[in-house]
Amino acid sequence: MKILFMKNIAVFGSGSGSNAENICRFFSSSKQVQVVLIGTNKKDARITNRAKKLKVPLLVFSKNELNTFTKLHAVLLKTRVEYVILAGFLLKIPEKMLELYKNKIINIHPSLLPKYGGKGMYGNNVHSSVLKNNDLFSGITVHLVNENYDEGEILFQKKCAVDKGDDVSSLSKKIAKLEYLYFPKIINSFVLK
Ligand code: GRF
């Protein structure tokens, strides 16, 4: 039975939503944490189909609705969302939301920040930059969200080797594997701390 003391989380994404799905599956058997909402600014993104398949309530909002943060805030309050997880969410979080959810918004980034962070650094852009620079390692970073892209306090990092034969596709698979393995566990310990 899901109890009242559950920590409610929302997951926001703008693309495929494979991390969102993985997070939902991880918490589906939890007695302490539940995903009560998937949010997206892209009504045609694959994440919307995943939300429907998983039967997790889906909220599609515009950039303007995010920035004014009135309607969206009302939904988060109604669903008692305490933490917002960004998993491939590409819009900047507005100041109002950062104030109201101070230290309660976390993001995953597919590199070892501060390397390859900032505007435009997402998805394959990150991996091709890592390969272009012949880095020996890449990895994932889970961090708190603040007013600058990818600059909030780092909560967790995990490295992986970049091998000679790696290309964007193989490197992105290695990174995804790390994300699926660690991100839900880090969320769990963060929200239950
Ligand atoms: C992930 O690599 C994540 O690190 C980054 O965006 C990607 C999202 O992929 N922030 P998906 O939408 O979860 O499949």
Nearest atom in ligand 1 to the alpha carbon of residue 21 is 13
Which pLDDT does position 5 carry in this prediction? 85
Question: Which residues are the active-site residues?
Answer: 109
Nearest-angstrom CA–CA distance, 127 and 23: 23
The reply to whether ligand 1 has any atom less than 6 angstroms from the CB of 16 is yes
The reply to whether ligand 1 has any atom less than 6 angstroms from the CB of 88 is yes
The reply to whether ligand 1 has any atom less than 6 angstroms from the CB of 172 is no
Q: For residue 140, count other CB atoms closer than 10 A to its CB.
A: 25
Nearest atom in ligand 1 to the alpha carbon of residue 88 is 6
Q: Ligand 1 centroid to 81 CA: how many Å?
A: 21
Q: CB of 59 within 8 A of CB of 38?
A: yes
Which pLDDT does position 58 carry in this prediction? 98
Q: 39: closest CA among 7, 3, 71, 4?
A: 71
66 by DSSP, 3-state: which? Answer: helix
The reply to whether ligand 1 has any atom less than 6 angstroms from the CB of 15 is yes
Q: CB of 146 within 8 A of CB of 113?
A: no
DSSP letter, residue 116: T
In terms of phi and psi (left: phi > 0; alpha: psi -120 to 50; beta: otherwise), the region of 79 is alpha
- Give pLDDT tens digits along the chain (193 positions): 555 689 999 999 999 999 999 999 999 999 999 999 999 999 999 999 999 999 999 999 999 999 999 999 999 999 999 999 999 999 999 999 999 999 999 999 999 999 999 988 998 999 999 999 999 999 999 999 999 989 999 999 999 999 999 999 999 999 999 999 999 999 999 999 9
In terms of phi and psi (left: phi > 0; alpha: psi -120 to 50; beta: otherwise), the region of 43 is alpha
Which pLDDT does position 119 carry in this prediction? 86
Q: Ligand 1 centroid to 123 CA: how many Å?
A: 7
Q: For residue 37, count other CB atoms closer than 10 A to its CB.
A: 21
Q: Closest residue (by CA) to atom 8 of ligand 1? A: 88
| Strand positions, DSSP E, 41-104 | 58-60, 83-86
Which pLDDT does position 3 carry in this prediction? 55
Which pLDDT does position 88 carry in this prediction? 96
Q: CB of 175 within 8 A of CB of 139?
A: yes
Give the global pTM.
0.96
Which pLDDT does position 17 carry in this prediction? 98
